[in-house]
Amino acid sequence: MRLGVIDVGSNTVHFLVVDAHLGGHPLPAFSHKIELRLSESIGPDGRVDKRCEQRLVSFVAECRRLADDNGVEDIFGFATSALREAGNGEGILERVRAETGTTLEVLSGPDEARMTFLAVRRWFGWSSGRLLVIDIGGGSLELASGIDEEPDVALSLPLGAGRVTRERLPGDPPDKATVKQVRSQVRAEVAAQVRPLLKAGVPDRVVGTSKTIRSLARLAGAAPSAEGPFVHRSLRREDLTEIVGRVRTMSAAERARLPGVSVTRAPQLLGGALVVEAAMDLLRVDQLDICPWALREGLILRRLDHIAS
């Protein structure tokens, strides 16, 4: 079966076509995306601006045309924190439905954590035992722990790499005192939420997902993406601490010249690193294994399960 999924994130909107069947490995067949920067288009009134709204509607319409061109049998879409929190989010979703015939499912933060956990479980398998998953997007940080495909604990915190950068780290680069203050704030906010995860039990494997974590692992010496998804990649906490110290004094342009860091992600690299470091410290994690699957793949797997049933 050929599936199409539209992923409306805080930074990018991604259309992915996969060939998949129940019990099989979804194989990417086509990919198309734009840097919409949805979260950055939200004004002081909490609403997405009209220009960004129009670009989203136009892109979803384009995805429908591309789906037809690529023989897609089933298409679905989802949106995360940016549209979930926007004051005019419901209106935008209704306009997308009316003009493109596409319904975008708005996920709650815990649902993001649950679906990412499912993807990680399917990727690493039952032999990994109890999993602890750390996933950071543009708008939120998701944490989940469990021994099954459904996590025992699934949490979402408003500590995405883009959000922390936009709201707390002014300057390019931000000054030392600001970084120190944000580091303390982030740690206090993570510390207030981690007790259920610590009580859930000691994980047998701790996994990191998302573009930000993959970029940080690349800076720590992990294999580049060109070597494929099956190469083992990891990120050690001691290496992450060194990276934080290194990128703190860099401008966004300087970060963009680092291996594995794109121009669009470079501005939020420091914010993301501070959040991931805090989560690893407070959850007593020395190393993350990197999973190439995350939220999008979890939703594809869930869709296949539902179709089969």
Domain with CATH 3.30.420.150 in the chain: 123-295
**pLDDT digit string, tens, across residues 78-103:** 999 999 999 999 999 999 999 999 99
Report whether the peptide linkage leading into residue 267 is cis, meaning its omega lies within 30 degrees of zero: no
Residue 36, pLDDT > 80, answer yes
pTM: 0.96
Q: For 2-106, give the CATH class.
A: alpha beta
Q: Identify the bridge partners of residue 156 per DSSP, sorted by sequence position.
A: 142
**pLDDT digit string, tens, across residues 102-125:** 999 999 999 999 999 999 999 999
Residue 309, pLDDT > 90, answer no
User: How many other β-carbons are positioned within 10 Å of the β-carbon of residue 12?
Assistant: 17
Domain with CATH 3.30.420.40 in the chain: 2-106
* Residue 298 CB partners (closer than 8 Å, separation 6+): 114, 115, 116, 117, 118, 119
Choose the CATH number for 123-295 among 3.30.420.150, 3.40.50.2300, 3.20.20.80, 3.40.350.10. 3.30.420.150
The whole-number average pLDDT for the span 124-138 is: 97
Q: Which residue has the higher pLDDT, 21 or 245?
A: 245
The whole-number average pLDDT for the span 230-237 is: 97
Residue 308, pLDDT > 90, answer no
**pLDDT digit string, tens, across residues 241-262:** 999 999 999 999 999 999 999 9
> In the chain, what is the straight-line distance between the N-terminal and C-terminal CA atoms, in Å?
15
Residue 73, pLDDT > 70, answer yes
CA dist 288 to 143, 214, 232, 309, Å? 13, 10, 11, 34
pLDDT at 25: 84
